[in-house]
Each structure stands twice: as C-alpha cells, then as structure tokens.
Amino acid sequence: MAAPAQPSTVLNELRRAQRANGPAAVLAIGTAVPANCVRQDEFTDWYFRVTKSDHLTELKAKMKRMCDKSSIKKRYFHHTEEMIGGHPEFLDRAAPSLGARLRISADAVPELAAAAAERAIAEWGRQAADITHLVVATNSGAGEPGADLRLARLLGLRPTVRRTLLYLHGCSASFVAIRLAKDIAENNRGARVLVACAHATILPFGAPDEAQLDALVAMALFSDGAGAAIVGADPTSPVERPVFHIVSSSQATLPGTGHALGIDLGEGGVRYRMAAEVPELVRGNIERCLVDSLAPLGQAAASGGGGDGWNGLFWAVHPGSRPLLDSYEAALGLEAGKLAASRSVLSEYGNMLAATIIFVLHEMRRRRQDGEEEGDASQWGIMSGLGPGLTIETIVLHASASCLEQLH
C-alpha cells in the first residue's frame, strides 16, 4: 500500500496547478474620450470666460504662455460650459463642492471606462463574461460601491468577477493596475483581467488663482479619457493574440521628494501639487532607477538584445508634460523619435492621468503595425511613469510578433 502523500507535496502540486505556465501579456487595448473637444489655442479664452475671470489679465497671459508651450493641440472633457454654469460653487474654492463633483464623476467615470473597455473586449475576441478579474483606477471618486461595480454592471460581467478599485494614485495608477493584473494572471491559471483607468477632471476644476499656480498648470495640462486593457497568461490560439508581454514591474520612491508631487482631496475637490523641480528630479534619477529595474533581467533586456544601450529599447513613457519627456530624452540620450508615441498622445489628448499610458501603448502598436518611419521595431521596451512620492514606476515589456501584424 502506497504511503499517503505528504501535505507539503499536495500543497505544492495544488500550487503548480493554480499557476499559469507563461508570462502575462496585454491581449487587447481600448481607448475612449468624451465628446467635448477644446483646442489648446482656444482653451485660455474658454477657461477664463467659463470661470468669469477675464479681468485677471496678467494671470490669463501667464496661462496662455503655458498652453502655447505645452505641445498640446487639443483636449477632451466631460464637463461643458453649461455644466460649469450650473454649479457656481465650483468657481469658489472656499465653498464646499466635493459632493456635487463626485455625483457628476460617479456617472462619467464608469461610462467612459465602459466605452474603452467595450473596444478592448471587441478586439480581444472573447465574451465579457470570460473576464475573471476587474481592476479599476481613477482619481475621480471617493465612494463605495464605486466605479468598479458600476462598470461591471455596464459590461455585463459575471457577479463572481473579482474586483479591485484604486483611488488617487495619480498618473501612476495604470502602472499599479497593470502590475496587479500581471500578478493575478500569472498566479491564477486561466484568469483574464480587465484593467480600466478613467478620469473626469471636474474634481480639480476651479477658477484661476495667483496663489495656486500648480492648479493653473493642472488646468493647462489635464484632460478626460479612459484606457482599458485585457491582461492574461497562456493565450488561447488563435483567438487571443498577445500585444506586449509584461516581463517585470518595479517601483522606486526618491527619498525626500514627498513634497514634489501629491494629491489632496478636500471639500473644494481635488488639488494636484506639482513642484517645478520634478523634471530636474527625473533627469537626475531616472537612469539609476532603470538600471536597478533591469539588472535582474540580464544584458539582453538592458540593451534590447543589441549594443545600442537605451536606444536599443522601445519607450512608452507617460507624457505628463513636454518638460518631463524632454527630461527622459536628456538623461538617457534617447534619439529623436524614441518618444514619438508619447509626444503624439500628449499633442492629441493632453495628460489624461493614468489613462494616458494606455493611449501611448495603443499609439505605439499602431505605429509598429503601420510601419511608420518613426515606429520603433525594438522587441524589448520600457513603460515608465511618475506617481506621488515622488515615485518612479517601471514596467519592462517584450513586443510579441502579433504587435507587428495588421489587426483584422
């Protein structure tokens, strides 16, 4: 009679059976923006008119210079002039307005996320009911039940879908969400994770104030949008076609920089704190953080498989602003065109916070598939972005063969 299996052996066998065989990958991407589009060269006039601030001529001129230097052509918003006109409390920073802002975003965020998610699901080729996990990230909410449950209902996901909701992670929320999705997919055989990042900038919207120039910068940069991605391991051929394999994820917080980037939620809405020194902090620290992130992966990943150093990789950098992208280029000696996808998204949409990097992945794939001159055919790549802290997020990607094929 055979001896009974040891408990540790049984547990190890069960654990192996639960895990996926291969690495997680982005299987599909979807994006969406609201209908209200405002050209950047018209935004200053629009903003000062809507906020009844045309009398602040010097401040208006300052914002016009910000917009002119932003490299942004247009942005999209859920809020309209009529909506702002119906909420005079939004223009008085001393007036409590958080409740009204949250009520607006409670509808706007899940609906915008659903539009992006529906496109990702359609590209994925499987049914929404096959999604096992849902990770939602937004800066535009503060309640439960939240945007995750509303999104699950809008998409018709199963009641058993396992949901995670991330609030107020700023521009880095998509990195946190994708990192979580990678861990879920690789440790739960057959898991398919829908990542959705959506934002409505009605929460920080307010009248211009000389004493709060960081708020003016936010008004000149931020916009509304949603990005969605399906993440899973061991893709089912021929339906599922990986776009980017998610090789690794890391995070580094720069000591003594907590003041540089932050988010405050109060009765007047959300305030973004952005110190002018952030680009310089990036320039002085990004290379060291990248070296530390790539070291465990060996030389192939660190050089993109060749001898071109940082230029041997493709780059999906969160386009927080033009100076931030310039800082990456200067610090790493990147060739012109390496950040073309990031600059294009910034130009066409502005900074949509966490959703923006998903737009960059979408644009990067399009360029590779279309064979554009500026498209980057490197197989190894870096996703990089910033979060409160100051925190530098790094995700190493490997482009799949299907990333170079035309979508059908």
- In the numeric block, which tokens belong to residue 312? 């041997």
Q: Residue count of the chain, please give it.
A: 408
Give the 3-state secondary structure of residue 23.
Answer: coil
Bridge pairing between strands 133-138 and 162-167:
parallel
As beta bridge partners, residue 85 has none
Whole-number Å distance between alpha carbons of 87 and 385: 34
Q: How far apart are CA 112 and CA 197, in angstroms?
A: 9
Nearest CA to 365 out of 348, 377, 354 is that of: 377
- CB–CB of 147/158 below 8 Å? no
> Please, which residues have CB within 8 angstroms of residue 83's CB and are 6 or more apart in sequence?
104, 202
Contact assessment for residue 45 and residue 244, using Cβ atoms and an 8 Å cutoff: no
Residue by residue, DSSP assigns 183-218 as HHHHHSTT-EEEEEEEE-TTTT-----TT-HHHHHH
The residues pairing with 32 across neighbouring beta strands, listed in sequence order, are 226
Task: Decide if 289 is catalytic.
Answer: no
> How far is 39 from 251, CA to CA, in rounded Å?
35
- Give the closest residue to 333 by CA, choosing from 316, 304, 357, 308: 308
Side-chain half-sphere of 31: how many Cα atoms within 13 Å?
18
Q: Are 219 and 75 in contact (CB under 8 A)?
A: no
Candidate list 37, 67, 171, 403, residue with the active-site label: 171
Residues annotated as catalytic are 171
